[in-house]
């Protein structure tokens, strides 16, 4: 699982700390979500999942770098579960 941090302006130490803190909160939530939505054959490797994270708005999108078949499997519930809103988020 990889995160692309969407940052406006310079990545100063405060922003870097925010990214680290946010990743520590997001990674377990997204992992739990993926485990609940994917077949057992896909449970051992999440390296093909990419997420774009808007630091300012603390919003997560499924990146288009994620394989399309995985996007289709997770997109329905992703925003409600991860962002708390039903807005569909594929970057």
Q: Residue 45 — very low, low, confident or very high, per pLDDT cuts 50/70/90? A: confident
- φ/ψ of 50, rounded to 5, equals -125, 140
Asked if residue 63 has pLDDT above 80, the reply is: yes
Q: Residue 89 — very low, low, confident or very high, per pLDDT cuts 50/70/90? A: low
Domain boundaries, the chain: 2-83
CB-based contacts of 33, cutoff 8 Å, min separation 6: 74, 77, 78, 81, 82
Asked if residue 40 has pLDDT above 80, the reply is: no
Residue 44 has a pLDDT of: 73
Which H or E run includes 4? strand 2-6
Of the candidates 62, 52, 63, 43, which has an alpha carbon nearest to the alpha carbon of residue 23?
Answer: 52
Of the candidates 16, 49, 11, 15, which has an alpha carbon nearest to the alpha carbon of residue 30?
Answer: 49
């Amino acid at each position: 699982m990889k995160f692309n941090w969407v940052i406006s302006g310079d990545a100063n130490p405060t922003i870097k700390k925010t990214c680290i803190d946010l990743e520590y909160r997001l990674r377990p939530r997204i992992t739990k979500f993926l485990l609940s939505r994917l077949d057992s054959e896909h449970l051992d490797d999440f390296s093909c999942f990419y997420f774009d994270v808007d630091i300012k708005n603390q919003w997560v999108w499924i990146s288009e770098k994620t394989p399309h078949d995985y996007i289709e499997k997770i997109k329905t519930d992703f925003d409600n579960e991860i962002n708390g809103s039903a807005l569909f988020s594929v970057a």
